[in-house]
Amino acid sequence: MPSSYNVRSRARERNSVLSRPEFMSLNHQPVRSNAGGGGGAGGGSAGGSPSESRGSARRPGQVKHQTSQPSEEPADNGSKDKREPGKMPEEDCMLLNPSFKGIAINSLLAIDICLSKRMGVCAYTSSPWGGCRSMVTLLALTGHGITWIIGTIVCLTRSNTLAGQEVLVNLLLALLLDVMTVAGVQRLVKRRGPWEMTPGFLDCVAMDIYSFPAAHASRAAMVSKFLLSHLVLAVPLRILLVLWAFLVGMSRVLLGRHHLTDMVCGFALGLLHFSLMESVWLSSSTCQTLISISTLSWSPFF
């Protein structure tokens, strides 16, 4: 017969919270097995039945929770797949660690655009200097490619000296080279001006549609350098010629057609054209041959 003390201790163990299987780790006691001997087996089965029923009541929920986790993964994968097409392209994303070169170039471009917009004081009639727009347009027209090509051809037809014809033929070839080169570079770069403007008729004829490089600045630099090298001019005229080239380049900036960097690159390109023409300078005999061919093309055959 078990004593009353043993019966009370077993009842106390059954009613204790720490004797439950889920709290056994806190009590640092191993879980009792159901296979016990004698009265311990009967007491263990009697005491373990409530805990087992509670454990069995909780296990379906745990099983459902465990089975619901794999089903959530495909949903997450589906949401990731849906988010991936919405990602921004790489060129539209901001670089968190840009290089010093990229920062310097972007800063210079921003300064160039800001200054060019502020200097476009004759862009429209409502601009601050809109009253001077016609005068600035006339100054820009003196550096237009069509104006210089027509003027050179007229002077060539009226020239009677071999030296004059030699200079004029080379100048005509330099003008054609300048027009074609600038038009090709503009087609490749396709940079827009600081102000949205429709190119005029003469600009379309000379293929001066885009902003970079400035065609007027290139032509003015090349013509001024050409005339300074092959004509004997007084010092005041030489100064006026250089000033004219600078004002022609600036006039396009004031009209809002070009940026400041376009004008600077145009000046550099014009000087490059002059150096190229000096290296391939045509002799007087070659120029006379070209003049005779062009004259025969326009003369009647009878």
Of 93-97, 126-130, 217-221, highest mean pLDDT: 217-221
Catalytic residue chosen out of the listed positions 28, 65, 258, 259: 258
Domain of 268 in residue numbering reads as 130-297
What is the DSSP secondary-structure string of 106-158? HHHHHHHHHHHHHH-TTSSTTSTTGGGHHHHHHHHHTT-HHHHHHHHHHHHHH
Side-chain-facing half-sphere of 208: CA atoms under 13 Å: 25
Is residue 65 domain-resident?
Answer: no
Q: Is 230 a catalytic residue?
A: no
Residues 107-140 pLDDT 10s: 888 898 899 888 888 888 888 888 888 999 999 9
Is residue 47 domain-resident?
Answer: no
Q: What is the pLDDT of residue 199?
A: 79
Residue 180: how many CB atoms within 10 A of its CB? 12
Residue 20 has pLDDT above 80, yes or no: no
Distance in angstroms between the alpha carbons of the first and the last residue of the chain:
152
- Number of domains the chain is built from: 1
Residue 27 has pLDDT above 70, yes or no: no
Q: Is 258 a catalytic residue?
A: yes
Residue 14 has pLDDT above 80, yes or no: no
Residue 13 has pLDDT above 90, yes or no: no
Q: What is the pLDDT of residue 26?
A: 53
pTM above 0.75, yes or no: no
Is residue 193 domain-resident?
Answer: yes
Q: What is the pLDDT of residue 71?
A: 46
Residue 182 has pLDDT above 50, yes or no: yes
Give me the amino acid identity at 65: H
Residues 253-296 pLDDT 10s: 999 899 999 999 999 999 999 999 999 999 999 998 888 887 76
Q: How far is CA 246 from CA 137, 162, 222, 252, in A?
A: 15, 31, 12, 11
Is residue 285 domain-resident?
Answer: yes
Residue 82 has pLDDT above 90, yes or no: no
State the Cα angle at 185 between 104 and 170, rounded to 5°: 125
Give me the amino acid identity at 169: V
Catalytic residue chosen out of the listed positions 28, 144, 216, 273: 216
Is residue 206 domain-resident?
Answer: yes
Is residue 45 domain-resident?
Answer: no
Is residue 81 domain-resident?
Answer: no
Q: What is the pLDDT of residue 50?
A: 45
Q: What is the pLDDT of residue 53?
A: 45
Is residue 42 domain-resident?
Answer: no
Residue 109: how many CB atoms within 10 A of its CB? 12
Q: Name which residue leads in pLDDT, 109 or 54.
A: 109
